[in-house]
Amino acid sequence: MSTITLKLSKQESSRLYEAFKDTESKAPAYADWQIRPEGCVITCYTSGKVVFQGNDAEVYASPFQQQNAVILPQGGSDEVGTGDYFGPVCVTATIVTNDTLDRIQELGVRDSKAVTDDLIRKIAPELNELLPHSTLVVSPSKYNAVHASNNMNAIKAKLHNQAYVNLSRKTELPAFCMVDQFAEKPVYYHYLKNEPTVIRTLHFETKAENKYPAVGAASILARYAFLQFMDEMNRNYDMQFAKGSGAPADACARTLVQKYGKEKLGEVAKLHFKNTGKL
């Protein structure tokens, strides 16, 4: 049985109701109406959200579907920190359901790159409580050790896979799980050829953070973990480590080496970045 949630205009929901009003049943709380054509239960909520549930949900929803149709429940995963010289790589996999979709939309969940760090710090704690999730944090020193035998995309593939494996041990994964694509599907699974457990039911799409609520939520949670790690680094080294990999990161690296010596660089930075060569 599948569930499809659409936001319909009043004209569209009225047209749908008129077509099947002879199958109307008692509407649940916060709903204007509910109809039960063969193979599907269709509920129109006062918010304008219309939920199609059943084996034939796709059949009844298809005339109204657009690119922003939401398939629920859905899993999503995303990574943060791979473009930052300093700090960890963080990957989160999470699940959004019909019960949590409205709230995460109210919170303004979308790609973390389009959300300020202040807002992430504000909304992420609630998302951590609201959504089942798994977050992996790879420290710079661990990253450098792993990178000696794995390229960046191999590391990301293994982290995404492990995040879903961990999540599957907490709860059942939805039939629909999306990865914000960084490698073609065959390449992604090639990187996992020696992994003991592989989640093989994933979908891949570029720029998925703003298309799929679960990927957007994963992006926010991964960014929050990254910010928390950076906060701890700042306290431990009495510095403000620069984000990204531009000139501010170069200046920060020089300051770190002057204060603590070059041997400390591998504890806070990804050494294969060009910033190390510049330094």
- The verdict on 93 and 18 lying in the same domain is no
| pLDDT surpassing 50 at residue 10 | yes
- The verdict on 46 and 89 lying in the same domain is no
Average pLDDT on 130-140 reads 98
Total number of domains constituting the chain: 2
* Residue 147 falls inside a structural domain: yes
| pLDDT surpassing 50 at residue 143 | yes
- The verdict on 86 and 224 lying in the same domain is yes
What is the structure's pLDDT at 68? 45
Q: How many whole angstroms separate alpha carbon 23 and alpha carbon 45?
A: 17
Average pLDDT on 169-190 reads 95
- The verdict on 147 and 81 lying in the same domain is yes
Which pLDDT band, with edges at 50, 70 and 90, does 159 fall under? very high
Last residue of a domain, one of 209, 232, 255: 232
What is the structure's pLDDT at 66? 52
Which pLDDT band, with edges at 50, 70 and 90, does 178 fall under? very high
| pLDDT surpassing 60 at residue 262 | yes
* Residue 222 falls inside a structural domain: yes
Instruction: Lowest mean pLDDT of 112-116, 186-190, 198-202, 231-235, name the range.
Output: 112-116
Q: How many whole angstroms separate alpha carbon 127 and alpha carbon 92?
A: 12
| Total H helices, total E strands in the chain | 11, 11
Last residue of a domain, one of 67, 85, 105: 67
What is the structure's pLDDT at 12? 85
- The verdict on 45 and 138 lying in the same domain is no
* Residue 276 falls inside a structural domain: no
Which pLDDT band, with edges at 50, 70 and 90, does 11 fall under? confident
* Residue 25 falls inside a structural domain: yes
Average pLDDT on 264-276 reads 97
* Residue 250 falls inside a structural domain: no
Residue 160 and residue 93 in contact, taking contact as beta carbons nearer than 8 Å: yes
* Residue 272 falls inside a structural domain: no
The alpha carbon of 155 is separated from its chain's Cα centroid by a whole number of angstroms, namely: 17
Q: How many whole angstroms separate alpha carbon 265 and alpha carbon 278?
A: 13
Average pLDDT on 148-173 reads 98
CATH number at residue 20: 3.30.310.10
Q: What is the pLDDT of residues 38-94, one digit of tens each?
A: 999 999 999 889 999 998 888 888 777 654 457 889 999 999 999 999 999 999 999
What is the token pair recorded at 242?
Answer: 């620069």
- The verdict on 43 and 115 lying in the same domain is no
- The verdict on 27 and 86 lying in the same domain is no
* Residue 21 falls inside a structural domain: yes
* Residue 162 falls inside a structural domain: yes
Residue 50 and residue 13 in contact, taking contact as beta carbons nearer than 8 Å: yes
pTM of the model: 0.77
| pLDDT surpassing 60 at residue 210 | yes
- The verdict on 128 and 79 lying in the same domain is yes
- The verdict on 53 and 84 lying in the same domain is no
- The verdict on 140 and 222 lying in the same domain is yes
- The verdict on 194 and 100 lying in the same domain is yes
Domain assignment of residue 18, given as a range: 2-67
Last residue of a domain, one of 11, 37, 67: 67
- The verdict on 108 and 43 lying in the same domain is no
- Helical ranges in the chain per DSSP H: 10-20, 57-61, 101-106, 117-130, 140-147, 152-170, 185-191, 213-237, 247-260, 265-268, 274-278
More confident residue, 26 or 210: 26
Arithmetic mean of pLDDT over the chain: 93
CATH number at residue 104: 3.30.420.10
